[in-house]
Structure 1
Amino acid sequence: MVTPTIWLVTVVLILGLMAFDYVFHVRAAHTPTIREAARWTSIYVSLAVAFGIAVWVFGGSKMGLEYFAGYITELSLSVDNLFVFLIIMASFKVPRAYQQKVLQFGIVFSLIARSAFIFLGVALINTFSWVFYLFGLILILTAGNLLKPEDDNEEDEANNIVIRTAKKLFHTTPHYDGDRLFTQEAGKRVMTPMLLVMIAIGGTDVMFALDSIPAIFGLTQDPYIVFTAVAFSLMGLRQLYFLIDGLLDRLIYLKYGLAVILGFIGVKLILHALHENTLPFINGGRHVAVVEITTQLSLAVIVVSLAVTVVFSLLSPKGKVLTTFKNAKRHAVQYLDLAYETDPATREANYARLMKEEAELAAVPEKYDALLKGEQQLLDLLDEAHRVHGDFVENAPDDYPNAPSPSERLDTARYRPVADEVNE
């Protein structure tokens, strides 16, 4: 049994780690390097694993298995959430140096929202055993939604009802003022996009919790295990974002793996609900003799599903091409948009990445040309980026370090007929 003292120590530990993260990494706006992101991601993953081992040693193998199953499931769902965060921050053109603060807010808000859902879920489970039917149905429906074709209208992710309401109720400005939430404009106190993007992230966090909490309750009903698995899955998510930022689009099959996991847990919850059944219109209100899925099998299904989908995603040539397209477009927009990033070194780094991606596009086999459907914008952005960079280099000091050029420039004539044909 988890005592109040253990609860208190655990909560203090988690809050302390978050406070440390904010004071030493987030408060001073900067863009983390890959090395920094990798180092702190490994530290937080190691802390989560060490905590799981401690749970296993002091709480027994059952608690340990439940914690690791919950942690891996919540972490995989959190990585999927990063796709939406990426879209939201791109829609609001959040400068990269300020993205850490947005992500930290999202993590803290997510922990608060999920904690509330956890204790609400525990209260419902203890009072109404039929709630497992509801949780199972939610997960099965969510799994089905993951298999639907994606909506290409990404702007809707940021233009949700919360944002539209905020814009109607308060004075807003499209311009950032550092990482301030409010600023003065024409003598009026106005809301900056920094606060709007936090509102958008907070709104999506609530929706994510509706899927996340039923999923982990399908693996364990121990509130301590549920809370700690959720908390440690969120810890380090900010660093992980900067570590795999350019690879997120590469995980093209991740949603299928998550659909399998959520569908499996949904079935497990319904089976458990049948086993504990008290509803009078099912088997006369008596328990139904069904096979219940063990935690060991659940953990195996979760790990195998994730491993298969991640490996297939990383080995997929189509996934690599699509990732290159998306990253090239993103870096071109960031390079050209002075409102997004004004630091010359950062802009040159963006241009260097763009040149590398352009070289990769030039080497794409012709059988993938059709993937460039509707990518006229990308071709125009590449041309404009070359023109702007050429003007910049011409006017820059002689000793200014130029960004590297690609070994092979993209032959846009090869792609334009494809894009032009689509546009017609």
Structure 2
Amino acid sequence: MNVPVWLWFATIGGLAAIILADLFLVDRKPHAVTIKEASRWVLFYIALAVLFGLGLWYFAGGTYAGEFFAGYITEYSLSVDNLFVFVLIMSAFAVPAIHQHRVLLVGIVIALVMRGLFIAAGAAAINALSWVFYIFAAFLIYTAVKMVREGVGGDDGEWSEPRIVGLIRRVLPVTDDYHGSKTTVRIDGKRWATPMLIVMIAIGLTDLLFALDSIPAIFGLTQEAYLVFSANAFALMGLRQLYFLLGGLLNRLIYLPYGLAVILGFIGVKLVLHALHENELPFLNGGEPLPVPEIGIGLSLSVIVGVLAVTTIASLVAVKRNPSLAE
């Protein structure tokens, strides 16, 4: 896929414009985001992603469009799992409801920038060293097994503050209370950071940790850096509104970790097959590619959507029959 430089700039510029519009329209008057408002924004961002995918279909063909949709759905579903931790962070910092949207917005922008660097590094590694696919595959399968072992509530409702956040606390004095939406304030001639700054950084860095499994996963679906970045961008842009929309529903998705584990394991196997098909390791078949079948994007997309549908329905049915499971 040949992506001209101007298209990269246009895509990044468009995303920046959307962020600014969101910041102006939603945060012009800080308020607690309602379910109705969150629903409109979630539908808006999903519609944008669908239009982007249809544009790819028209200009670049069905294969690239399919890779984008598979990557977007995978990233979005993995991001839903992130929301559990975001809830813990918001609670740990006692973020006022009227400022939670701004916290998520800035935190996710930080995450998007850092993910962009991660994606660039991953794309360069893949282009230079085909055996990187084996590493990605091993990591995804390991993560899948870990998720199955931990199962529901594997984090025990706890969240550990990233070390860099603790370092910032030591470098900058932090006020005990929030000062509106300000990230820093001057008190008695001295500059202080507010909890708002700390929680924004915590959200961004925590999301980056989740990227350690989501980025290799999407590289298992497409090796096009442009599609990897755009799928991540659309998934992250709609994530903060999904946070307000799902609310208490998160606790009802009790089988989601298992569904995500199946998806990660499936993509891990797909990566192994692709790596064998592109094999350059001298101790495997003399460094020649192996005649193994590869999993097409159509099958990948079907598996991802099917697993998510089954785990979501199964979770809601199980909780309806036994409400104590959601606790």
Give yes or no for TM over 0.5: yes
> Of 211, 216, 222, which residue of structure 2 is paired with 1:209?
211
2:122 alignment partner in structure 1: 121
SS of aligned partner of 2:149? coil
More relative contact order in 1 or in 2 (CA 8 Å, sep 6+)? 2
2:156 alignment partner in structure 1: 152
* Deviation of 1:27 (Å): 4.3
**Structure 1, gaps ≥5 residues long:** 326-424
Residue 80 (str. 1) matches residue 81 (str. 2): yes
What are the within-5 Å matches in structure 2 for residues 155-170 of structure 1? 157-170=159-172
**Structure 2, gaps ≥5 residues long:** none
> Of 240, 250, 253, which residue of structure 2 is paired with 1:251?
253
* Deviation of 1:176 (Å): 1.2
1:342 alignment partner in structure 2: none
The alpha-carbon distance between structure 1 residues 292 and 216, as it changes in their structure 2 partners (threshold 3 A), is: same
| Matched residue type, 1:31 | A
- How large is the RMSD of aligned CA atoms in angstroms? 1.7
The alpha-carbon distance between structure 1 residues 206 and 73, as it changes in their structure 2 partners (threshold 3 A), is: same
SS of aligned partner of 2:156? coil
> Of 265, 282, 285, which residue of structure 2 is paired with 1:283?
285
Whole-Å Cα distance in 2 between the matches of residues 158 and 102 of structure 1? 18
* Deviation of 1:160 (Å): 3.1
Percentage identity across paired residues of the two chains: 53
* Deviation of 1:185 (Å): 5.0
Contact 2:74/2:304 (CA < 8 Å) preserved in 1? yes
| Matched residue type, 2:324 | V
Give the aligned length: 322
Q: Deviations over 1:76-131 (max 9, x none)?
A: 01111111111111111111111101100122112111111111111111111111
* Deviation of 1:188 (Å): 3.9
> Of 184, 197, 201, which residue of structure 2 is paired with 1:195?
197
What are the within-5 Å matches in structure 2 for residues 181-192 of structure 1? 181-185=183-187, 188-192=190-194
1:17 alignment partner in structure 2: 18
Contact 1:26/1:104 (CA < 8 Å) preserved in 2? no
* Deviation of 1:226 (Å): 1.3
SS of aligned partner of 1:183? strand
Whole-Å Cα distance in 2 between the matches of residues 129 and 119 of structure 1? 15
Residue 321 (str. 1) matches residue 324 (str. 2): yes
> Of 237, 240, 250, which residue of structure 2 is paired with 1:238?
240
SS of aligned partner of 2:185? strand
Whole-Å Cα distance in 2 between the matches of residues 36 and 246 of structure 1? 16
2:71 alignment partner in structure 1: 70
| Matched residue type, 1:21 | D
Whole-Å Cα distance in 1 between the matches of residues 155 and 9 of structure 2? 44
Return the TM-score normalized by structure 2.
0.93
* Deviation of 1:304 (Å): 0.6
SS of aligned partner of 1:148? helix
Whole-Å Cα distance in 1 between the matches of residues 262 and 17 of structure 2? 35
Larger of the two Rg values belongs to structure: 1
Return the TM-score normalized by structure 1.
0.73
Contact 2:88/2:157 (CA < 8 Å) preserved in 1? no
Contact 1:113/1:205 (CA < 8 Å) preserved in 2? no
* Deviation of 1:209 (Å): 1.7
